[in-house]
A = this chain, B = another copy of it.
């Protein structure tokens, strides 16, 4: 018999950016699946939902280490898929909570192929993405009219491809720009985009930081949780 598996986006960090649907479902399932970096460590997704989580919900931790060894990760996903399959097989409905939106770089989607499809019906509950939260803090449109938007995760040692992408597009979101800040600074200068960027850090926290000055970008030790918006048409005053 099939039971229900939900993938729930909990948004970028502010507990109030949870949807009504996410709140209802996470409090109605038998098991709430929470990704953690280390067993026993705190889960950021769980912190976000905590203020709206009923006391009697059964929280179950799943290990998702923060490294990039794909073989080791894959082994972990298979193991997590097996754990989730067993929970579903025993008839327990499950909700997997994920930062932001489940379709945007989420651990859930890496695990999904390893969950035995005999045991569940999947429902994906969308969440607020980090780039929309960042644009909200910046009070800037990501795109208008007939403009497109390109979202690029920044990698180390990939300067040429990054340069080509930034050159080719009108509106750009760079995810994890601190992966190669110096490359971004030189690209912004080379393309004369010094006045066309905003870097926003720590969205949804008290110490949110917005940098629009290229010199501040050069001097600053930038937080890991940063996002950059580049708009060639410029920003609202």
Interface residue ranges, A against B (CB under 8 Å): 9, 11, 14-21, 23-24, 52, 101-106, 109-110, 112-113, 122, 124-129, 132-133, 135-137, 139-153, 155, 165, 168-169, 236
Contact = CB atoms under 8 A, between A and B. Distances in A.
A78 B149 CA distance: 26
Contact of A19 (B19, B24, B236): B19
A24 B125 CA distance: 21
Contacts of A103: 132, 135-136, 140-142
B148 A153 contact: yes
7 contacts: A18-B20, A101-B128, A122-B139, A124-B137, A129-B129, A148-B153, A149-B151
Contact of A136 (B112, B124, B133, B153): B124
Most buried by B among A20, A21, A102, A113: A20
A152 to B, nearest CB: 5
A84 to B, nearest CB: 15
5 tightest A-B CB contacts, nearest first: A103-B135, A16-B21, A124-B136, A109-B141, A126-B132
Nearest to A158: B146
A146 to B, nearest CB: 5
A20 B21 contact: no
A205 B109 CA distance: 24
Contacts of A112: 236
A105 B139 contact: no
Contact of A17 (B110, B126, B147, B155): B126
Given A135-B126, A148-B150, A141 B19 contact: no
A52 to B, nearest CB: 7
Contacts of A124: 135-137, 139
Given A112-B236, A122-B139, A20 B16 contact: yes
A50 to B, nearest CB: 13
Contact of A113 (B101, B149, B236): B236
Contact of A125 (B21, B136, B146, B148): B136
